[in-house]
Amino acid sequence: MAENEENKINTEELKSEASNTVNQVKDTIKKVDIKKDSVETKGFVMEMFKNPLEKIKEVAEDTKGKYLKYAIIVLVIWAAAKFLSRCFAIGWFWRPYNIFENMWSIGVATITPLLSVLVMVLISFALNKKNKKPLTTVISAVTIANIPTVVASVVSLLTIISSQVSLITIPFASLCSVISIVLTYFALKNVFGEEKNSDFIKKFVLIETLYYVAYIILSLLKIYI
């Protein structure tokens, strides 16, 4: 009975957080100044490359949505890179009778970055029992941690010029993926408020395990996060 009550509370809490998050994201998007905020985001990214753990900690400890606009811009760039990559990939095999299938494939590829972040965020939010933070904070932290992956997605567009560039872009993407996982570890460690690696490593393994379970399920639907 107590467990059912707890699940009910968690569900209601998640609904409330989701509603607040949607509203905050809408407000943030309305206030975004593309030119000004893009320059600020670029500066933030440069600072993060200089001192990644400190910046990740700042984002993970922010509860006022200060870094949300940076996360949104990063997601837009990531989605745009996926969109262009998929468009050019399909371009080589375009057939008029496959128009709906092609449009579906492009649409799914475009929203993949958002789905990837949301899956990780929801799993983390559900498992974080002691140190709840706003969903916007977790979204910002996870997105910022994936900046190396975003960079790899942008660099991979070079294959549009020549397929031979993939000899560089593929291993580079693998390296960036590893870096993003490491940064995600520290981002979530700060979100959870854990001081010791020995206390958090098991939780992170569980988070990654659940993420890849979701990955497999979505892959069956031909959605690859």
Q: Confirm whether pTM is higher than 0.85.
A: yes
Q: Which two tokens stand for residue 93?
A: 């095999």
Query: What are the domain boundaries of the chain?
Result: 2-220
Of 57, 89, 217, 81, residue with least CA distance to 149: 81
Q: For the chain, 225 residues long, give each residue's pLDDT as a single digit of tens.
A: 444 444 444 677 777 777 788 888 888 888 888 888 889 999 999 999 999 999 999 999 888 888 999 999 999 999 999 999 988 887 755 556 577 888 888 899 999 999 999 999 999 988 998 878 888 999 999 999 999 999 999 999 998 888 888 899 999 999 999 999 999 999 999 999 988 898 899 999 999 999 999 999 999 988 888
**Half-sphere exposure of residue 124, counting CA atoms within 13 Å on the CB side?**
32
Burial class (CB in 10 A: 0-12, 13-18, 19+), 64: exposed
